[in-house]
Amino acid sequence: MLPPLPPAKRPVLIRVLTSSLRSVARQELRAVLHQVLTAWNGFGQLPLRETACGPEWQGLLDGESLDISLSYCDGEAWVGLIRGSAIGIDAMMIRPMAEAEAVARHFLGDAAAEAIRRSREPAKAFALAWTGLEARLKCLKRGLTEGSAGRNDFEKLAGQDVLFDDRIAVTVATAA
């Protein structure tokens, strides 16, 4: 069942079970995205334009632009959609990673790395911190660089909704 067209500035998240092969999962997720856009615009789907930041749809839905963010994670994928704003979504399996502390120091900063190290559940803490960073960067249409977590333009973003179970962390960031 497809979600109805939401009010402006309300994110929609769609979880899709996909192939574990990235190329196949990419096609499967775009097929679902096409189905949603066709249902929402009421007169047939308009083409998606592929950009370095993912698919972009040039049409308006009920007078508002639409922002799209995608994330893939071990046999499932997520679509984040929002009208009249910007969205970023990221998903990651929660599992121990030998280089987590070093990656955290380089990309998330010393304070985050220390918090992860002290956590009772370091794999979960790392996954939440990492998906939070990636979701914010995707929302701002920016790439990952060392020190990305210290960006002052993150202040422009609204709070993040974090969804997770015992195996996956999913973070959504939207523009304020």
The pLDDT score that the predictor gives to residue 154 is 75
Residue 78 CB contacts under 8 Å (≥ 6 apart), including other chains: 13, 14, 15, 16, 70, 71, 72, 89, 91, 170
Which tokens is 112 given? 């985050």
Q: Tell which wins on pLDDT, 47 or 89.
A: 89
Could you identify the residue written with the tokens 């704003």? 85
Location of structure tokens 């979880």: 15
Tokens of 19: 């192939």
| CB-based burial, 99-108: b 16+ in 10 Å, e otherwise | ebeebbbebb
Query: pTM of the predicted model, to two decimals?
Result: 0.89
Q: What is the DSSP letter of 158?
A: P
At 3, is the secondary structure helix, strand, or coil? coil
Instruction: List alpha helices for 42-166, DSSP H.
Output: 100-103, 110-118, 122-139
C-alpha radius of gyration, the chain, whole number = 17
| Per-residue pLDDT reduced to its tens digit, 119-160 | 999 999 999 999 999 999 999 888 876 666 656 667 778 767
Average pLDDT, stretch 71-81?
94
Q: Pick from 54, 83, 78: which is nearest to 163 by CA?
A: 78
| Sequence-ordered list of residues with C-beta below 8 angstroms from that of 121, at least 6 positions apart, any chain | none
Instruction: Specify the long-range contacts of residues 38-41, CB closer than 8 Å, at least 24 apart.
Output: 39/2, 40/5
Over residues 30-50, the pLDDT tens digits come to 999 988 988 888 766 666 788
The rounded mean pLDDT for the chain is 87
